[in-house]
């Protein structure tokens, strides 16, 4: 933040929901990433999952999670999402998840995109854990965001 303080505390240091009532609504977008690391045998078994297609179920779960972010994260604002989507891509060593969210509102959608990516990853784990309990969920991070007072952000390639 430009003023070097966390916004979720009031002047007395108590947790507080940020007052955005004075901010004009504008278009805001965000994209987040997660990775579900799994063995080749688990990847090969994805199409035969008796619970259904884990990637499609994860996509829907992520979209639902984006819409419920304010119910999960205590100080998040409830936002009218104009778009939410999750793309799951099979890689050699696991599944790469990219979640996107958009709104026209007074605050950003970073948490919605991150929540969508996290819940999609958890859904994949849930649907494949019978094959391997050692599946790992990792690399949850914000890829980019647009709009708002702090301006646009794009993660640098290779950032830790």
Q: How many CA atoms lie within 13 A of 80 on its CB side?
A: 6
Q: Measure the CA–CA gap between 125 and 122, rounded to whole angstroms.
A: 5
Q: What pLDDT, on a 0 to 100 scale, did the predictor assign at position 149?
A: 83
pTM, two decimal places: 0.88
Considering the candidates 3, 15, 85, 126, report the single residue annotated as catalytic: 126
Domain assignment present for 126: yes
15 is catalytic: no
Instruction: List the alpha helices (DSSP H) in the chain.
Output: 40-45, 54-67, 69-72, 110-128
Closest CA to 67 of 102, 34, 97, 96: 102
Number of domains in the chain: 1
Closest CA to 29 of 117, 147, 120, 142: 147
Rg (CA), the chain: 17
Sheet holding 136-146, edge to edge: 81-91, 94-105, 26-37, 136-146, 153-154
Domain assignment present for 10: no
Domain assignment present for 4: no
Q: Measure the CA–CA gap between 73 and 46, rounded to whole angstroms.
A: 31
Contacts of 66 (CB under 8 A, 6+ apart): 81, 84, 99, 101, 109, 112, 113, 115, 116
CATH of the domain at 87: 3.30.70.640
Walk along the chain (160 residues) and give the pLDDT tens digit of each residue. Answer: 344 555 665 667 677 677 787 888 899 999 999 999 999 999 999 999 888 899 999 999 999 999 999 999 988 999 999 999 999 999 999 999 999 999 999 888 999 999 999 999 999 999 999 999 999 999 999 999 999 888 899 999 877 6
Domain assignment present for 119: yes
Q: How many CA atoms lie within 13 A of 101 on its CB side?
A: 29
Q: Measure the CA–CA gap between 28 and 130, rounded to whole angstroms.
A: 39
Domain that holds residue 55: 26-154
Is residue 62 a contact partner of residue 119, using CB atoms and an 8 Å limit?
Answer: yes
Q: What pLDDT, on a 0 to 100 scale, did the predictor assign at position 110?
A: 96
Domain assignment present for 45: yes
């Amino acid at each position: 933040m430009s003023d070097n303080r966390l916004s979720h505390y009031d002047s007395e240091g108590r947790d507080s929901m940020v007052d955005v009532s004075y901010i004009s609504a504008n278009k805001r977008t965000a994209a987040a990433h997660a990775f579900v690391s799994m063995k080749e045998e688990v990847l090969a078994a994805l199409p035969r999952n008796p619970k259904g297609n884990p990637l499609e179920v994860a996509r829907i779960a992520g979209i639902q999670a984006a819409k419920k972010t304010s119910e999960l994260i205590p100080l998040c604002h409830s936002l009218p999402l104009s778009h939410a989507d999750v793309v799951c891509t099979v890689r050699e060593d696991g599944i790469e998840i990219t979640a996107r969210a958009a709104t026209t509102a007074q605050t950003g959608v970073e948490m919605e995109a991150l929540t969508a990516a996290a819940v999609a990853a958890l859904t994949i784990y849930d649907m494949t854990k019978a094959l391997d309990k050692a599946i790992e969920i990792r690399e949850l991070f914000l890829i980019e965001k647009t709009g708002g007072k702090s301006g646009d952000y794009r993660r640098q390639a290779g950032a830790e």
